[in-house]
């Protein structure tokens, strides 16, 4: 009995820890979006979102890096298929950074995850990701 209780407490703490490691979920047009992480890289994939057959990679120049923002998506029953603008990354000073990644056929799968790269000056502090009218807070997710 005591072992089962400890296991249950451990599972609850693990779930809480995982939720705390992610950002706050936002919804746009029936599409739930949860920021998972921001990682830095010198080379990044420019796959469309959701990931498809596009296999183009990009490389940074000296003094640059990619801030790769990973977002989990869930298509709800309220989702209405429509073209979506490319996401925009905002840094701590309010400067906007664009990406080459496009949203393509978003409702084709019920859940997916995308790693969206943004070319930024090395050391840039990221603040948020704008996806249409939804603003996803990235503070605390950056692994620089």
Residue 23 in tokens: 């950002």
pLDDT tens per residue across span 104-135 = 899 999 999 999 999 999 999 999 999 999 99
Q: What is the largest CA-CA distance in the chain?
A: 59
For residue range 25-77, what is the model confidence (pLDDT) as tens digits? 999 999 999 999 999 999 999 988 998 777 789 999 999 999 999 999 999 99
Rounded to 5°, the CA angle 110-23-109 comes to 10
What are the structural domain ranges in the chain? Answer: 23-137
Question: Could you tell me how far CA 69 lies from the centroid of its own chain?
Answer: 4
CB 49 within 8 A of CB 101: yes
Looking at domain 23-137, which CATH architecture does it have? Sandwich (2.60)
Tell me the C-alpha distance between 70 and 124, whole Å.
17
């Amino acid at each position: 009995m005591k072992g089962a209780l400890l296991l249950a407490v451990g599972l609850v703490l693990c779930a809480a820890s995982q939720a705390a490691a992610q950002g706050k979920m936002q919804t746009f047009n029936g599409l739930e979006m949860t920021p998972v992480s921001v990682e830095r890289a010198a080379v990044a994939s420019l796959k469309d979102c959701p990931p498809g057959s596009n296999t183009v990679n990009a490389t940074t120049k000296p003094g640059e890096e990619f801030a790769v923002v990973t977002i989990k998506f869930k298509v709800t029953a309220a989702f209405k298929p429509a073209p979506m603008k490319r996401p925009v990354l905002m840094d701590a000073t309010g400067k906007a950074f664009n990406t080459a990644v496009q949203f393509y056929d978003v409702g084709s799968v019920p859940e997916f995850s995308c790693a969206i790269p943004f070319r930024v000056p090395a050391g840039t502090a990221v603040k948020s990701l704008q996806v249409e009218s939804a603003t996803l807070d990235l503070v605390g997710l950056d692994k620089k």
